[in-house]
Chains A and B, each alone.
Chain A
Amino acid sequence: MSTYYEEVQEIKAQYPDGRSAALPALRLAQEKHGYLSPEALRECADALGTTPALCEAVASFYDMLHLAPTGRHIVEVCTNVSCALVGAQQVLESFEQELGIRAGETTDDGEVTLRPIECLGGCGWATVVSIDHHYRTHVKPADVPAIVQELRSGE
C-alpha cells in the first residue's frame, strides 16, 4: 500500500515542475484528512517540496477544497449571475431557514454544511444546487424543505 507521500511523488513525476501536482496532491490530502487542516497542508507541502502557504493559497481558491471541517453532506447553492437572476438568493435563504444555520456553517449535529458557490456550469437550469456533488436543477425555494427532509432521513 503506497503512502500519501509516495503517491504524490508519482504524480509529481508526471510534470516538469513538481508544484504542478498541487491540485491532485491537495485532493488526496483532503481525502485522507477529511479536510485541509493545517496538518494536511503541511504534509502536502512536504510531499510537493513547496511551502504550506502556497498550498493554502491554491486550496483557498477552489470551492471543492475545504479548509475547514465539513458536515457529512454538503449543500452548495450557485449564486452566480444566471442563478441569481431566477432567485438563487431566496433558495439559499430557504436552506438557511430550513437547516437553522447561516450560509458557510455546518449544522450542530455535523450532518449538513451549507455554502454558496461559484458557477456550477448549469446556467440553463438555474437555480442549480449541488448536493454532495450531485446536481439538482431548477430549484425553487419551495423545493427546499423536501430536499432537506431527504438529507435528514438518510438517503
Chain B
Amino acid sequence: MSATETVTLTIDGVAVEVPKGTGLVEAALAAGIEIPVFCYEPRLGPAVGACRMCLCQIEPGPPKPQAACTLTAQDGMVVRTALTSAVAADAQNATLEFILVNHPLDCPVCDKGGECPLQDLTFRYGPGNTRMTFPKRTFEKPIPVSPLIALDRERCILCYRCTRFSEGVAEDGQLVAVDRGAGTMIATFGDEPYRAPFSGNVIELCPVGALTSTTYRFEARPWEILDVPTVCGMCPVGCNVNATTREGNVKRILSRNHPEVDDGWLCDKGRFSYAHLHAEDRVCDPILRVRRRGFEEVSWERALDEAERLLREANGRIVTALSGSETIEEAYALGKLLRRGLGAHTAFFPEESSDALDAFRVPLSAIRDADVVAVLGDAPVVERAPIVELWIKEARRRGARVLYELDEEAVRGAETAILVWCGPGGHGGATVAVLAQRLGLSGAFYIPETANGRGVCDAWSCSDDAESASPDPIGLLIVSGDEAAANPDVRALAEKAERVLVISMFQGLAAGWADLVLPGTSYLERDGTYINLEGRVQRLRRTVIPPVPDELAWISKLAERFDVELSPYPALVFEEVSAIAFGGIPFGEIGERSPLPAATGASAQIELGEADGPAVDGGLRLVRYRPLFSGPAVERVHELDFQRPQPEAELSEEDARSLGVRNGEEITIRSNGTSVRLRARLSRELRPGVVRVSDDFAGELKPAVEISK
C-alpha cells in the first residue's frame, strides 16, 4: 500500500498536515483548535450544514463565512476560525444569537443542563446577551415520542441529528421532521410511538435537552453522578457502555464508543434494561423448600449448608445447566467446584460453541468496509445481535452487495467478502468456518444466541480435563442463571431430576420448582469478563454493589468445603483461565476498549457436513425467532413493553409477488391443522422461500407453511 496522501493547510496560523479527505473540523482538532459544532456528526453520514455554528473564514472560497463542517481539507487552504477572524467571530455570534431566539434557556429545569453542548458553546462563544425581549414560542410539552423518549419541542435547535439517525443509520424512518423552515418540528407519525430497536440513540445524539430519556428524566445532575465503564451483557455483541450511577444505583446506560464493536450505538435493550436490577420479584435472600411449610427465606449460612448437603447427597450425579450469561470467572469457578470437587462433569449448554471461526476473526467494523456481505442462516440479525445489523446497513449504504442467499460467484469475485451467519445450522460457527474456508473469505461471524455462551463453554472446559458419562437419573440439577431457568429444555430436565438448585435473580423464574434458590446478580453488578461474538475478551465492571453477594463470593466459600482452591476475586480466577485459554493475559491488561486477538491460522481440518437448515418440500419454510425485546430482564422493564414485536410476517419481495401479496396486507399462514393471521411485511432482507415470524405470533405453526390471503 502506498503511504496515505496528505495535504497541508493553515488553521489560525498553525500549519497542519492531515490525510487527504480529512474534514476541516478534524483537521482543526489536529492543530489543537476547536471549531464548535452542533449538527456535525460524521457517524450520521455526509454533513448537512444545518446549524451554521461552525462558520469560518476560508480561503480560497467565496468572500463570506463558510460552514467548515461541510468542507474537507485542501492543500494550501487558509482557515480562520472565530479565534483569529473578526468576520468568523461575527458570524458565529449571530448564529448563536439566532439559535437562541427560539430557545427557552430553561437550563435549571432541563435534564441536559451540565452536559449540554448548547449550554457549553453559549457560555464559551456568542454574544453573552440577547436583544430578544419578546416572548418565546411555546409548545405542548413534553411530548411522549415513545414510552422511553420525551420531546420538549421548544428546546429543539433543528440540527436534524435525530432524524438523520432514524432515516440514515437505523433506517427505521420513524422520527422525522414535519413542516418546513422555522415551523419545522420533530415528530413521529401521529400518536404512534417511535418503535424501533435503536431509538434511544437519538437521546445521546441530541445536542440540547429536546430529546430526553423518560427513565433518566429528573433523576440526576451531571455533577453528582459517576460513570462506570463496562460492557453490555444483553447480547453477544458486547457494546461498550458507561453505566451512570448515582448513590449506588444505575440511572442510565450510555454508549462508550468502541469503534470496532459498536461505533457508539446501542440498542434499546442494552440501553434501557437496567431497571431489572430493581425488579419487584428480585430474590434477595436464599430460598429453601421446607417440608409442609413450602418455601422459606433462609440465611446465607444455612443456604450454604443446604447447598453442601444437596451436592454431597447427589453423589456425583449432578448436571449443570448454564445460561451463557455467566462471566468467564463464574463459569470457571462453578466448573472447578463441581468437576474437581465432585467429579460432576456434565453440563447443559444453552447452545453449541466452537473456536473454528477464530481463523476468520475480524472486527465487526470490517463488515462496513466489505464489498460483499453474505447474511445467511435466515434468522433476523437485528433480533439477536442488533448492532451487527447496523454494520450491515452501513456496508450497504457504502455500496456493498448484501446477499441473503449464497451466491458463490459474487462472494469469490469480491475483494473483501464477509459472512454473517445467524440461524440454525451454524454449529456454533463450525459449519460456518467450513464454508468460509471453502469460499476463501476475509472474515466470518457466527451469531450466537447468548451473550457469553462462548466464554462459558471455554471456561467450563478449562476448569478440568476429566470427563464422565451423563448421570441417569439426575441426582441434582444445578440451574445457573435466569436464562437457563426460563429455558423449557432445562425445565424438562428438572422434571427428571431428584433435586434442583437454582441460581436466579427473579422469584418469578425460580420459585416453585427448586429445592434451593440462591440469589443471582446481573451483568451490571459483576466484575469479570465476557467473550463477544468476535472472540474479543471484554471486561465487565461492577457498576453498583448488588443487594446480594455475587456468585463468585459464595461459590468460593462452597469450594472450601470440598477442598477446592478457588479465589473469590475475579482477577485471580481470570488468571487461571487466561493461562490456559487466553495466552496468559492478565486481568488488568484487558483494558477499557479491548483489542481483538489476531486471527489464528486456519484450523487444520474442520470436518463437518454442509450447513443444514431443516429441509422443507415445496411451500415456504417458517423461521421463527426469539424477539430482541424478550427474556427475563426485559420482561421486567415495563417501559419496553411497547417494543414487543408487531403481529407481522416477513416475506421476501419475490415470494410476495408470486403469491400476489401486498405489503401491509393481512395474510393467513397455515401448516397442518393450525393457522395464524398476520400483516405481511415485504422485505429485501430475506431470501425467497422463507417467511419469518416472531415466537410471539408463530403459535403452533410447523416449519413447513403455506400462505394465502
Residues B178 and A56 in contact, CB atoms below 8 Å apart = yes
Residues A53 and B175 in contact, CB atoms below 8 Å apart = yes
Q: Which residues of A contact B682 (CB under 8 A)?
A: 49
Bound-state CA distance A45–B180 (Å) is 21
CB of B174 to closest CB in A, whole Å: 5
Q: Which residues of B contact A61 (CB under 8 A)?
A: 179-180
Residue of A nearest to B190 (CB): A38
CB of A29 to closest CB in B, whole Å: 14
Q: Which residues of B contact A38 (CB under 8 A)?
A: 189-190
Task: For A50, give its contact among B173, B175, B187, B188 (CB under 8 Å).
Answer: B173
| Residues in A37-71 with C-beta less than 8 Å from chain B | 38, 41-42, 45-47, 49-54, 56-57, 60-61
Residues A56 and B663 in contact, CB atoms below 8 Å apart = no
Bound-state CA distance A138–B138 (Å) is 37
Q: Which among B176, B179, B682 has the greatest number of chain A C-beta atoms within 10 A? A: B176
The A/B interface has a contact count, at CB < 8 Å, of 46
Binding site for A on B (CB under 8 A): 163, 167, 172-180, 187-190, 192, 662-665, 682
Residue of B nearest to A67 (CB): B178
Task: For A51, give its contact among B163, B172, B665 (CB under 8 Å).
Answer: B172
Q: Is the interface of A mostly helix, strand, loop or mixed?
A: helix
Residue of A nearest to B665 (CB): A46
Bound-state CA distance A49–B180 (Å) is 24
Bound-state CA distance A57–B188 (Å) is 9
Binding site for B on A (CB under 8 A): 5, 38, 41-42, 45-47, 49-54, 56-57, 60-61
Q: Which among A5, A42, A52, A57 has the greatest number of chain B C-beta atoms within 10 A? A: A57
Q: A57-B176, A57-B178 are in contact. Are A52 and B663 (CB under 8 A)?
A: no
Residues A54 and B190 in contact, CB atoms below 8 Å apart = no
Residue of B nearest to A3 (CB): B662
Residue of B nearest to A45 (CB): B664
List 27 A–B pairs whose Cβ atoms lie within 8 Å, in order of A's numbering.
Answer: A5-B662, A38-B189, A38-B190, A45-B664, A46-B663, A46-B664, A47-B662, A47-B663, A49-B663, A51-B172, A51-B173, A51-B189, A53-B174, A53-B176, A53-B187, A53-B188, A53-B189, A54-B167, A54-B176, A56-B176, A56-B187, A56-B189, A57-B176, A57-B177, A60-B179, A60-B180, A61-B179
Residues B179 and A54 in contact, CB atoms below 8 Å apart = no
Q: Which residues of A contact B173 (CB under 8 A)?
A: 50-51, 53-54
CB of A3 to closest CB in B, whole Å: 9
Bound-state CA distance A5–B660 (Å) is 12
Residue of B nearest to A63 (CB): B180
Q: Which among B167, B172, B682 has the greatest number of chain A C-beta atoms within 10 A? A: B167
CB of A22 to closest CB in B, whole Å: 11
Residues A52 and B189 in contact, CB atoms below 8 Å apart = yes
CB of B175 to closest CB in A, whole Å: 7
Bound-state CA distance A45–B663 (Å) is 9
Residues A60 and B663 in contact, CB atoms below 8 Å apart = no
Q: A46-B662, A47-B663 are in contact. Are A41 and B178 (CB under 8 A)?
A: no
Q: Which residues of A contact B174 (CB under 8 A)?
A: 51, 53
Q: Which residues of A contact B665 (CB under 8 A)?
A: 46
Bound-state CA distance A137–B538 (Å) is 71
Bound-state CA distance A57–B663 (Å) is 21
Q: Which residues of A contact B663 (CB under 8 A)?
A: 46-47, 49
CB of B682 to closest CB in A, whole Å: 6
Q: Which residues of B contact A5 (CB under 8 A)?
A: 662
Q: Which residues of A contact B192 (CB under 8 A)?
A: 52-53
Residue of A nearest to B172 (CB): A51
Residue of A nearest to B178 (CB): A60
Q: Which residues of A contact B188 (CB under 8 A)?
A: 53
Bound-state CA distance A57–B177 (Å) is 6
Residue of B nearest to A48 (CB): B663
The 10 closest A-B pairs by CB, nearest first: A46-B664, A57-B176, A51-B173, A53-B189, A60-B178, A54-B173, A52-B189, A53-B176, A46-B663, A60-B179
Residues B664 and A41 in contact, CB atoms below 8 Å apart = no
Q: Which residues of A contact B664 (CB under 8 A)?
A: 42, 45-46
Task: For A41, give its contact among B177, B180, B187, B189 (CB under 8 Å).
Answer: B189
Q: Which residues of A contact B180 (CB under 8 A)?
A: 60-61
CB of B563 to closest CB in A, whole Å: 63
Q: Which residues of B contact A42 (CB under 8 A)?
A: 664
Q: Which residues of B contact A53 (CB under 8 A)?
A: 173-176, 187-189, 192
Bound-state CA distance A49–B662 (Å) is 10
Bound-state CA distance A53–B187 (Å) is 8
| 6 more CB-based (< 8 A) A-B contacts, given A46-B665, A54-B176 | A46-B662, A51-B172, A51-B173, A51-B174, A53-B175, A60-B179
Bound-state CA distance A56–B175 (Å) is 11
CB of B198 to closest CB in A, whole Å: 14
Q: Which residues of A contact B187 (CB under 8 A)?
A: 53, 56
Q: Which residues of B contact A51 (CB under 8 A)?
A: 172-174, 189
Residue of B nearest to A57 (CB): B176
CB of B648 to closest CB in A, whole Å: 12
CB of B170 to closest CB in A, whole Å: 12
Bound-state CA distance A49–B664 (Å) is 9
Bound-state CA distance A49–B191 (Å) is 21
CB of B324 to closest CB in A, whole Å: 35
CB of A120 to closest CB in B, whole Å: 16
Residue of A nearest to B662 (CB): A5
